[in-house]
Amino acid sequence: QVRLAESGGASVQAGGSLRLVCEVSRSTDSFALVGWFRQAPGKQREGVAVMDTRSGGIGYGDSVKGRFTISRDNAKMTVYLQMNSLKPDDSAMYYCAARGVFHGVRLPLSPSDYNYWGQGTQVTVSS
């Protein structure tokens, strides 16, 4: 059974930084895609950052480009999301997700394209 566990969420002031951590119960190489998503109250879940574990290709949501960075440490079975220059609009529950098989070219940022999910970690950014 696959388990993903997020941590690192906190309350910070605008302009601050956080690093989210997703611990996976098996090697991240066993997934084609790993990524981070977020959902604010009353809004749909949206893709933040995704990575193709085979090619190293990375995609970001438009609202976080240049501020957030996804990375992974396969030896530690961990995926990270470094978030800099945080804004109040970044406040949301952040979820780690993974997909087992992927044969496309364009990295999907839609939550419906991912099979495995963690429980989430809350990020709150105050102005």
Closest CA to 82 of 28, 38, 17: 17
Share of the chain above pLDDT 90, in %: 92
Spans of the chain below 50 pLDDT: none
* Predicted local confidence at residue 105, as pLDDT: 84
* Predicted local confidence at residue 1, as pLDDT: 87
Please report the DSSP string for 53-72 in residue order. TTT--EEE-TTTTTTEEEEE
Between CA 111 and CA 35 the distance in angstroms is 10
**Hunting for tokens 């989210």 — which residue is that?**
20
The values of phi and psi at residue 76, to 5°, are -95, 0
* Predicted local confidence at residue 104, as pLDDT: 85
Per-chain mean pLDDT for the chain: 96
Share of the chain above pLDDT 70, in %: 100
Between CA 93 and CA 16 the distance in angstroms is 17
User: 109-123: per-residue pLDDT in tens?
Assistant: 999 999 999 999 999
